[in-house]
Structure 1
């Protein structure tokens, strides 16, 4: 039985006791339990921490973790939230069998605990027993007998010692090829944790209050401990479907786990899951682990970006050397196509946004990538490559006739249009698909194929050109990976 327990935070003493009871019940009933602390539907410290809402992204995984049943502490998660918001939250879990810890009109709840003896521990224990019976029999059982609990909370110094070991090992040393994730898992193994996993998206995904994120169906596993053994991955084995994440760690054997999201600012980076041990009940211990993993993943991401930027600089240097046309790059015009170059595009794009992007308007941003240009240059020479670039520029001239567009790199074009017509991006996508097919059929000697991403953004005073271009580029990278 695979059970999800959605709670607010382990720093809440009552929640902590509920988790103690639920853990004991899961062990007694030989179930798999995943505790998911996502804090609150309405953030508690929004002014002090504007990204507090990011924690609740963990709740979105509850629909994909292949849970047989969910237990939701809706009163605490929905603290300060209106009743309709609570109902909306519960309804999003669809057809998954679900029980709430307290009575909620329109939803089934666990049996009330009729004792003051370890009341919250009893509630956690009762919830697991009720959930298992509920799935098997489609109804609630008679209340469980009062249980005794002998949980001994660990000293905070023990948890602090583990955080110190992990932090020092990961943040003060340099490891090759993302080896740091395996080092992290190895340290946890030495501390008695036999199951854990760090999972990251290939690209960070924007998640804001206004623009809620779209969770991908797959995620890349950076490290995984199963039954105390570190997984050795083949090159193509790291991609994991979200509905198989729990199974990949538990292998179907009973166990207690806790999961939390990795994020930086407005961006979701991934997920960390580990066995639920006594240390997890030390205030801020689990959050500290999440912070360390986030720091390591951010360093890894920045190193990749730095490498990519260096490669782009070398590419520009080579292009400048080959073209011998520095003045062309200083001006606004692209020497080859006659249209805008990078400088010209961004200059006009910023002006267009400033003057025309207003309430009721929509910004359409497109990236077009000539994936075959390098092969054309290598096989047929740069003159033929230049002819291929001009052909693409002619296509973009016809498709995006009234838009601002320019060649921002040797093989990349960007487009911007401000319109009051919602959904216009779809017509651009259809026309680009038609022109791309025509381009393929017209090229007899070689394949001249375009990869493109066209995104539409509603007006938002906080939305910048940089953010729109970045999101469009990230969407293009996802399209490339799926092809």
Structure 2
């Protein structure tokens, strides 16, 4: 049986006691328990007073909806300490499809048996909650209260926790690793500290989570490193991703575990999650947050290095295209010397500004490549003067078709176009108009064939979608068209 325990923060002395009681019960009853410390609920996401990014920590609770828990326990008194009753109810209603018990009275919801153990009240409450959850799932009613238990919790001294944090930081943050290798260092450290289960999971792209963009958990998540039952996890065919809803079951297929889960985020973006064997040192103030903070740091570095590599590739592409450009004049200024419109440099400058200012949620970028496939033959047979006239003619046609778009002659025989729109039919209308104009151009030429090959692609907004990626896909589409004609 899998039980989720939603609590606020390990720094709370009451939460520590509840967790220790719940852990004892999970071990005694041989069930899986996942502790999810998601901080206190915020009355409103992303407000200036949320300096601790509590609304980002709250995202950890969203995983509880996705993971296949048999029952969820919620310490609503401490999670909802700073919000209204209606806000608490709205939070609990998110789990309406999952059996749920609260640790304190909340009108409209089933509460676990309250305990009378004054000396170890909250430890007994945590123990009682897990025992009640097991019985409730099987019988849909609460059992008689559990007898009082004896609890032994001898927390490690804080200085030992600080030594652990310093050691992890030294091994990870001061070295340069090959791609993804730093994550395996983390799982190796977990092994060295006696933990048999540890997993680091990251999304391929950062996921926005703020007042305007409430996040939706992606269906898939990447497995950066994982040890299960003390061994490095191996996946079929080297597959390094899994269903996000299955990240707990990866560890619990063969045996019951007590795990703790933390989410990784930076700013208002969710990056992924960490899951690890529960250890009493995780209840030391700020220890678990420090671990997830270090992981967030190396995750952030990984994202930045990937973006840097993409930027390098884009610069290499620009350098290559400049070297292939047949007009030295096009390297100076923004204007194409022949058509009077934008040259390559001008097009890219305008395109980048357009994307930065106007490409956002709900908008679509339309990118087109137009190739004058006959220009070389015209130049060879009829001379460059005739070729220049044809280029000007094509530029005039494109100006009519792509009115209000950014158009540039990026090579001697090739034009590029970009537009940002919210018109769903815009790209199809442009294709139809290009077909009409292309037919006219073809029929007007008496001495030679003057025909355009073109590709018009559309791209929905994504935070990490670059101009280079859009141009690359459009160019590949054009090459496929050329190959089929």
TM-score (norm 2): 0.77
Distance 1:141 1:175, change over 3 A: same
Q: Which moved more, 1:73-82 or 1:282-291?
A: 73-82
Q: Which residue of 1 aligns with 2:21?
A: 21
Q: Is the 8 A contact 2:5 2:33 kept in 1?
A: yes
Distance 2:168 2:82 in 1: 36
Residue 369 of structure 1: CA displacement? 8.4
* Aligned equivalent of 2:205, options 203, 228, 248: 203
Q: Is the 8 A contact 1:224 1:249 kept in 2?
A: no
Q: Is the 8 A contact 2:187 2:198 kept in 1?
A: yes
Q: CA RMSD in A?
A: 4.0
Could you list the runs of 5+ residues in structure 1 that have no partner in the other structure?
385-392, 418-423, 439-446, 456-468
Q: Which residue of 2 aligns with 1:161?
A: 163
Residue 470 (1) aligns with residue 474 (2): no
* Aligned equivalent of 2:267, options 265, 268, 279: 265
Distance 1:180 1:329 in 2: 43
Q: Match of 2:41, SS?
A: coil
Q: Which residue of 1 aligns with 2:480?
A: none
Q: Match of 1:36, SS?
A: strand
Q: Which residue of 2 aligns with 1:4?
A: 4
Q: Which residue of 2 aligns with 1:124?
A: 126
Residue 66 (1) aligns with residue 63 (2): no
Distance 1:146 1:453, change over 3 A: same
Q: Is the 8 A contact 1:40 1:78 kept in 2?
A: yes
Residue 11 of structure 1: CA displacement? 0.3
Q: Which residue of 1 aligns with 2:391?
A: none
Distance 1:226 1:333, change over 3 A: farther
Residue 328 of structure 1: CA displacement? 3.6
Larger radius of gyration: 2
1:58-102, Cα deviation, whole Å (9 max, x unpaired): 111001111111011112111121111111111112311111111
Q: Which residue of 1 aligns with 2:363?
A: 364
* Aligned equivalent of 1:94, options 88, 93, 96: 96
Distance 1:141 1:335, change over 3 A: farther
* Aligned equivalent of 2:298, options 273, 296, 299: 296
Q: Match of 2:463, SS?
A: helix
Q: Is the 8 A contact 2:3 2:69 kept in 1?
A: yes
Q: Which residue of 1 aligns with 2:381?
A: none
- Which residues in structure 2 correspond to 1:56-455 (within 5 Å)? 56-233=58-235, 236-325=238-327, 327-328=329-330, 331-332=333-334, 341-347=347-353, 364-366=363-365, 368=367, 414-417=418-421, 424=422, 426-428=424-426, 452-455=458-461
Distance 1:140 1:425, change over 3 A: farther
Q: Which moved more, 1:315-324 or 1:251-260?
A: 251-260
Distance 2:316 2:126 in 1: 59
Q: Match of 1:184, SS?
A: helix
Q: Is the 8 A contact 1:331 1:343 kept in 2?
A: no
Residue 298 of structure 1: CA displacement? 1.4
Distance 1:343 1:227, change over 3 A: same
Q: Match of 2:133, SS?
A: helix
Distance 1:262 1:336 in 2: 53
Residue 40 of structure 1: CA displacement? 1.6
Distance 2:407 2:416 in 1: 11
Distance 1:235 1:263, change over 3 A: farther
1:167-214, Cα deviation, whole Å (9 max, x unpaired): 110111122121111111011101011001000011111111232112
Distance 1:344 1:82, change over 3 A: same
Q: Is the 8 A contact 2:405 2:418 kept in 1?
A: no
Q: Which moved more, 1:1-10 or 1:247-256?
A: 247-256
Could you list the runs of 5+ residues in structure 2 that have no partner in the other structure?
378-394, 437-452, 474-485
Q: Match of 1:176, SS?
A: coil
Distance 1:395 1:197 in 2: 57
Residue 251 of structure 1: CA displacement? 2.4
1:113-151, Cα deviation, whole Å (9 max, x unpaired): 123120000110111011111111111111111111012
Residue 450 of structure 1: CA displacement? 6.5
Distance 1:433 1:121 in 2: 69
Distance 1:345 1:21 in 2: 60
Distance 1:312 1:128, change over 3 A: same
Q: Match of 2:226, SS?
A: strand
Distance 1:413 1:30, change over 3 A: farther
Name the count of aligned residue pairs. Answer: 431
Distance 1:362 1:27, change over 3 A: closer
Residue 43 of structure 1: CA displacement? 7.2
TM-score (norm 1): 0.78
